[in-house]
Chain A
Amino acid sequence: MERNDIVIGMAGSGGDGVVSAGEILVSAGASEGVHAFMLKSFGPQIRGGESSCRVRLSGKQIQSHGDQVQVLGIFSWNDFKQFRGEMHLNDPVVIVMDSADKTSKDDIPIDEDIDRIIYEVPIAQLAKDKAGTLQAKNMVMLGVLSELFGLPDEGLRDAIRKKFKKKDQEVIDSNLKAMEAGATYVRDEIDKTDEVKFSFTPAEPKVLMEGNEAFAYGALYAGCRFSAGYPITPSSEIMEWMGRELPKYDGTMLQSEDELAAIGMVIGAAFAGKKAMTATSGAGISLMSEQIGLASMAELPLVIMNVQRTGPSTGIPTKTEQADLQQALYGTHGDANRVVIAPADVEDCFDVAVQAFYISEKYQIPVIVLSDQYLGQRKETFDQDALFQSDNGFMKTIKREVPTGEDLEDYKRFKFTESGVSPMAYPGIEKGMYQAAGLEHGEHGLPTSDVDMHAKMTEKRFRKNKVIAEELNFVRFYGPEDAEVGVIGWGSSKGAIKEAIQRLNDDGYPVSAAVPQILMPFPQEKLEKYLEPLNTVYVAEMSYSGQFYKYLKGFLRFGDRELKKYARSGAAPFDVSEIYNTVKQEFE
């Protein structure tokens, strides 16, 4: 059967080059204009442990890592075991394995109900014989997969050349030879009995990026010129990117001594007039919470990216979850106003970065961006012209409003205004001197413990939300407007939800979905309206305790509608079929 959508899984030990094979594969896809998506996953070792990747290639727009793995490339079954829980296999599954692995057919660690077609290939042997090095095993595997399943082989050769372009021609040649050896072996020795065949129409090359890169790039584009951070998986790529790029554009990236210092430095830079950000995850965001409150109180614009990982505590640093929602919304003492936005795909990470800086600068408020490992570290393609446009048409950058002329005669840093926003001076602006503080203050910024002033200032800080909500209230909707069954999710779950809805609709089930991009201020009106036709609402999230479910209940009146929680702990992102099957039950 020809298909234009294929999901390939690979597993091996670090030295097998599984991840770099995956990278070459998505890069090949992107260069041929194919939609590509790649998830990687590692065991706990720093180097050389088990690793796996999942690559999806498709002729049509894709939203997620796809469902069950149809093709499995195995260097070692022992390494595969680590990923059994997260790699759901299609039935039947086609397996290409190195014949050097002597696991007997009966002991193969996959569910015995799953039918399998196995091709054994002497991968290590071929790498050694044809390329002279075991390091080329992954190239042999690529050659085999490409020949067996019709992958973009010209693209693959290009991608290999690019990958090794800094090395000697010899290295490139030996890798190409290894790939060719794999393909030749298939032609000469294998009798193809499975039916998986990928077909695609070459098109204009696509952009291939990771979420963390897209966010960092978006921040730079938005005018961010200061960033500080402390390394933590899975967010470090953002500070690494910033460290390489910001100095080229007259900016600064500092590696701080801890997250307390990271956000402190960012607060200092924001106070000094710069667009500033930090990125962190897990323990790091917990350490930052006190100073998020400071930024709220001092009405300082800054952007805090939390690439969520599996928690609590150290949790699983390399895996995803959506369980930092409550912390983003409410973490830190006091009524500390902030904005929370969640990007939904890699390209959206760029858009959200731009919007986060827009909101923070315009409204002088800390903006927390909630991404996650699934979004931050996956590779995904999108069209070349997509990046500088956004799904909600919002791609504005802005300069902070500073006091001028009259404002400066008797400068009130925290002047009461209709919008709650008061022009903000920074060191260097004559007559703009004021004291920023975590202490409650009056309009001039002087400390106060006055009851009425506290009431008024709190109200002022929250007044901004109304204006923000008018300007930004983007919610993604999928499916027919009059559907009676709906799904609400957020952030990185968008992909699986959107695809599940499409599939349900194709199969004749009238289901819709809503995925808000901005979570605080809450897009009340849009979601209320969305609820109207629904009888049943599923709330889907990777949080065991149902943090999003509880949050929605605080804002929306569900009335007689049946409210169903599809809340599970994270570590593995949603599969499309998981949402599909859950919602389909409604119709059985």
Chain B
Amino acid sequence: MTETNVADKPKTQFKVKDYKSDTKPIWCPGCGDFGVLASLYQALAKLNLPSHEVAIISGIGCSSRLPGYVATYGFNAVHGRILPIATGVKMASPEITVIGTGGDGDGFSIGMGHVPHAARRNVDMTYIVMDNEIYGLTKGQLSPTAHVGDVTKTSAYGSIERPVEPVDLMINVGASFVARANAGDPKQMADLIVQAIQHKGFAFIDALSPCRTFRGIEQKKFINANTFKVEDHDHDPSDKRKALDIADSQEGISTGLLYVEERPPYDELYKDLRDRATQKPVPEIQDILQRYIP
């Protein structure tokens, strides 16, 4: 049987280089964000997504420079507004793959007000936070994910604040996909990004991405020494309680897919809403005027 027709014509297979922009990253040597970027290229190539159908939205921070290095559509917006802008893009164009990338300060300090809302709405997007527990771009101030006792430029006597726990937070506010990954493990990171993009709904990845300049080599060493993979622990990510348990494991920092749940995403729910709104005949726009003539 010779059934070669147009539909079977081999599709273009995109390669990593197709996703690289001409701009060289400004990150410091050794910055964890390189690992996240490399993994993102891998993931996009694996999914074979046409560049023009992907939009990467970021805020402000070292990590938020990322969209400039990817040859897709990008939006390096303002500090803390990744999620609303990404929501706008996705709801305006559901066919576009939307990815948000930013820092811990961007997401969990100035942008925190948006986090639960994007999560509970289940906006169909991937949100990668490059969590270095520091403000990199502004050169080393205290971050909301820093630990008690951490000395930074604005916590000269050590932080006295309990940190935000991104993974617990996200599970609790209704993210339907929650993962944590080590930027120093590109394979794990790329795999998780692939799954996150494929997931229908709000997918969050807490990317442990060390800041060489303001956290020193120790931060990277600490991450490498203390992370373990949940796959090795027979973890069931559909179990919310277990997910919360393993998120806070005493054995170290759990990485991998911690929690996942099937739930209709915001754009699909909105489509249903439109179906309900159009059950009765819809007048021509010009004729709406008649409603206002008593």
Contacts and interface: CB of A to CB of B under 8 A. Distances in A.
Nearest to A290: B78
A428 B90 CA distance: 12
B16 interface: no
A256 interface: yes
A435 B114 contact: no
A428 B93 contact: yes
Interface residues of B, number: 51
Chain B contact residues: helix, strand, loop or mixed: helix
B71 interface: yes
Contact of B117 (A162, A261, A271, A432): A261
Contacts of A290: 78
B264 interface: no
Interface in A277-312: 290-291, 294, 298
Given A247-B277, A436-B75, A261 B55 contact: no
Contacts of A256: 84, 117
A256 B88 CA distance: 10
Contacts of B85: 264-265, 267-268, 271
Interface in B36-81: 50-55, 57, 60, 67-68, 71-78, 80-81
B5 interface: no
A63 to B, nearest CB: 19
Given A220-B285, A427-B73, A30 B23 contact: no
B78 A248 contact: no
A108 interface: no
Contact of A428 (B52, B78, B87): B52
Contact of B51 (A31, A249, A433): A433
B113 A265 contact: no
Given A249-B285, A294-B77, A432-B52, A265 B294 contact: no
A131 interface: no
Contacts of A435: 67-68, 73-76
B25 to A, nearest CB: 12
B160 to A, nearest CB: 28
A431 B53 CA distance: 10
Interface stretch (A119-127, A207-215, A486-494): A207-215
B181 to A, nearest CB: 25
B89 A271 contact: yes
B273 interface: yes
B88 A248 contact: no
Contacts of B277: 244, 247-248
Given A247-B278, A257-B113, A272-B92, A264 B84 contact: yes
Of B83, B88, B276, B277, chain A has the most CB atoms within 10 Å of the CB of: B88
Contact of B292 (A208, A262, A267): A208
B1 interface: no
Contacts of B75: 268, 271, 298, 435-437
Nearest to B57: A268
A433 B73 contact: yes
A21 to B, nearest CB: 15
A384 B290 CA distance: 9
A291 B52 contact: no
Interface of B: 23, 50-55, 57, 60, 67-68, 71-78, 80-81, 83-93, 95-96, 113-114, 117, 270, 273-274, 276-278, 282, 285-286, 288-289, 292-294
19 contacts: A208-B294, A221-B285, A221-B286, A226-B88, A245-B288, A247-B277, A252-B270, A256-B117, A257-B113, A257-B117, A260-B81, A262-B84, A266-B88, A269-B89, A271-B75, A384-B289, A427-B53, A435-B68, A446-B23
Interface of A: 27-28, 30-31, 158-159, 162, 205-209, 213, 217, 220-221, 226, 228, 244-245, 247-250, 252, 254, 256-258, 260-274, 276, 290-291, 294, 298, 384, 387-388, 425-439, 446-447
Given A248-B278, A262-B84, 7 more contacts: A208-B292, A217-B288, A226-B91, A276-B92, A425-B73, A439-B76, A446-B23
